Structure 1
């Protein structure tokens, strides 16, 4: 893992140097969009709706739109704002752990001691464990001021970003205001059903079946030869081995498809399009 931030946990006169690491990662297969006719990559352009020109990042500002008016904010405007460059995770209070509702939890980060002596780090960790308390902290990360919960995970301190209070919506549903009569027998049977499913949570027992099957699908297509050369999807014109003749893109695609069909025992038709089966379907088509 690579540290994405370094600083110190502070409370009172105590200073605990730490390094911060992302505690989670995305395991989804990375997909991109292609043209179903020839397999070419689909690209998106940053085109101005006023002049119609494609705009480079260096000429793009940010703006706020209230529905009727737009306020453009330049780099100079952002430079005038107070910069959030603090390297401190400032503990503001310690609260009972059960008071933090999981709905408020956001991204998680591991904290590693950054000094030769780990005594202050270990002392803070042990204190949180013994008191069953979670530290509420404020910190700055990636130009944003954040609220967080500092707690213990195994033998490591974990910083869990918290949503601000106005970022959690109110759950108000009129249908739940209607009175419902539940008998003692119904409640008893419901509790009995829950007890029949009781278990200890073992996360390793669960896997993402969709992603597992998607990977197997991709591997099967690769093994059967239902694929085209990646260079061809970028619209480049590959040269032959001698470096002389430049092949037409569509001809290169047709030859790639003919070759893959021949290797899989299919009859080559030359000018026919690539099989529709090469296009990801459903959720896999996005991204």
Structure 2
């Protein structure tokens, strides 16, 4: 890994020299744009609207326009700002960890101790663990002053920037202020459903199915030289993958009572499905798919298309995921097909 920042953490008179490394990376397949007629690469050129010449990046400055005048800001202008020269992560508060709103959290960085003796690094780490608090810090990175938090992950200090208070929007959706009453039965069924799905979070068990399918498509194109049968690759036609079906949207406009009935049916169907397990795959196929909630519940039953046997790459798991929208609105399904549904978390 390459360090993106170096400086020190300061809390009181304690100084902790560190280097920061990006804690995350993207796993998306890298794509670029081409001309559909001949496959030629599409590239964007930066041209000046005054002289019409192509401009290299090193000759580009930033500017602010107030509607009448434009102020040009050079790299030297940005570097002259006092905050840009700050190479310290200053601890300003130690707060209860549950007071940090997850919606404000941004990019994470691993912090590596840089001093010959890591004692101050270990001291700060131990203090955060013992007090069960999170350190609120201020720091500068890439010409921006940032607010952040310091926390411990395994044996490493992690710096995570957070949004300023005025960057989080305030919302007031009318539907959230509805006076609709939730009955005791609905509450009990919902609680039972939550209990059925309760488990420890295991992120390694999940995968980005879109990227898996995209890689599968690319590999098929490479193997077949552009003569690609999409249906043979994914087990279905792309036109069927939009998730639309004849059962979707039923019951709309029938009033609140219809929504409550569909919600009850969806909860009951979900519980029946979880309790039935593999031995009774047909129990989860009751009605209740008319509303959005019902459609979502029935969508959890995944069937393996018969066409998946013709896949070139042999990935049944990917084909099964791709076929989810097609089967989510189906009114009926045979026990044989639903028996292949994905194991729940």
1:74 aligns with 2:73: yes
Contact 1:18 1:112 in 2 (8 A): yes
Corresponding residue number in structure 2 for 1:122? 122
Aligned residue pairs total 226
Corresponding residue number in structure 1 for 2:135? 135
Q: Higher RCO, 1 or 2 (CA under 8 Å, sep at least 6)?
A: 1
Contact 2:79 2:85 in 1 (8 A): no
Query: What displacement does 1:50 show?
Result: 4.5
Corresponding residue number in structure 2 for 1:7? 7
5 Å-filtered alignment, 1:56-67, equals: 56-66=56-66
Deviations 1:11-56 (A, max 9, x none): 1111111111000001101100001111100111223345544333
1:156 aligns with 2:156: yes
5 Å-filtered alignment, 1:162-241, equals: 162-226=162-226
5+ long unaligned stretches in structure 2: 228-345
How many Å separate the matches in 1 of 2:201 and 2:79? Answer: 48
SS at match of 2:85: coil
Contact 2:140 2:146 in 1 (8 A): yes
Q: RMSD value over aligned CA atoms?
A: 1.9
How many Å separate the matches in 1 of 2:54 and 2:36? Answer: 25
Contact 2:152 2:158 in 1 (8 A): yes
Query: What displacement does 1:226 show?
Result: 3.5
Q: 1:15 to 1:83 in 2, by over 3 A?
A: closer
How many Å separate the matches in 1 of 2:31 and 2:212? Answer: 14
SS at match of 2:18: strand
SS at match of 1:84: helix
Q: 1:172 to 1:70 in 2, by over 3 A?
A: farther
Query: What displacement does 1:6 show?
Result: 1.3
Contact 1:88 1:139 in 2 (8 A): yes
Corresponding residue number in structure 2 for 1:95? 95
Contact 1:140 1:146 in 2 (8 A): yes
Deviations 1:83-102 (A, max 9, x none): 51211110001000010010
Corresponding residue number in structure 2 for 1:109? 109
Q: Which moved more, 1:201-210 or 1:113-122?
A: 113-122
Q: Taking structure 2 as the reference length, what is the TM-score of the superposition? A: 0.62
Query: What displacement does 1:104 show?
Result: 0.7
